[in-house]
């Protein structure tokens, strides 16, 4: 089967945003050391982190669920920032109900998308060839047994995702790409021993770890792309 799935490539816009964030933090500390700026006041705008992380997710996703998660993070960051600026009254007590509403919206989007995939799939289970898993403030475990795996997207926000693909297969001389995004969470991927794993992720106060054994040949490649922000991504056999 030809791999016509086109995963989202690492977006230059998201890299620019992260680069500007690091430069901005460095400038803030420099101005504090020069007694030009009081960092205590600067740190009062820490909710901007949610806006930056949400924007990175929006720039690096190709699924409706991913865009919804990015929008939720941006929305929470905007509301908390406006509260810090005394423009509106908003507290963490309101964040949890909004997060639950967002989680329900993600479930509805995935349910609708799942019905469309099921309607368009054949007996060989094409719907499992491309994955789309999301965990928000909770855990998600899934086993995939597709014999023509093509890749997909995994998102973990304040939660964990575990994907068992040891029963999967990639067509010889083919490549599957999984786009990952974790923020205050973790992602674990188990793959067959004959797959070559290539990590192309960007860790930010987090990490990517490859615990797989080297296969006898490189005819089957699994490429892991994306971001681990204050979280971790682990791939093992």
Segments making up each domain of the chain, as ranges: 12-106, 125-236
Confidence of residue 190 (pLDDT cuts 50, 70, 90): very high
Enter the pTM of the model: 0.69
> Torsion angle, CA of 78/185/190/146, rounded to 10 degrees?
-30
Average pLDDT over residues 131-157: 86
Instruction: Give the dihedral sign, CA 122/126/128/132.
Output: negative
- Measured CA to CA, the distance from residue 170 to residue 61 in angstroms comes to 23
Longest dimension (CA), the chain: 68
- pLDDT tens string 34-73: 777 666 666 667 777 888 888 888 877 777 777 888 888 8
Among 9-18, 32-41, 84-93, 179-188, the least confident range: 9-18
């Amino acid at each position: 089967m030809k791999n016509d799935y086109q995963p989202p490539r690492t977006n230059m816009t998201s890299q620019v945003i992260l680069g500007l964030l690091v430069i901005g933090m460095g400038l803030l500390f420099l101005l504090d050391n020069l007694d030009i700026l009081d960092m205590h006041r600067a740190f009062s705008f820490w909710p901007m982190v949610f806006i930056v992380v949400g924007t990175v997710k929006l720039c690096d996703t190709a699924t409706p669920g991913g865009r919804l998660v990015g929008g939720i993070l941006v929305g929470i960051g905007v509301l908390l920032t406006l509260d810090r600026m005394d423009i509106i009254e908003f507290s963490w007590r309101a964040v949890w109900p909004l997060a639950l509403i967002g989680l329900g919206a993600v479930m509805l989007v995935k349910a609708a998308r799942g019905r469309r995939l099921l309607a368009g799939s054949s007996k060989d289970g094409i719907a499992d060839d491309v994955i789309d898993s999301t965990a928000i403030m909770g855990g998600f475990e899934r086993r995939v047994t597709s014999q023509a795996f093509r890749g997909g997207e995994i998102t973990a926000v304040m939660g964990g995702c575990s994907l068992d693909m040891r029963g999967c297969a990639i067509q010889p001389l083919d490549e599957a790409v999984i786009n990952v995004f974790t923020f205050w969470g973790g992602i674990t991927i188990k793959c067959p021993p004959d797959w070559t794993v290539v990590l192309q992720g960007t860790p930010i106060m987090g990490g990517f770890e490859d615990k797989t054994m080297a296969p006898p040949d490189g005819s089957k490649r699994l490429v892991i792309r994306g971001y681990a922000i204050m979280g971790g991504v682990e791939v093992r056999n």
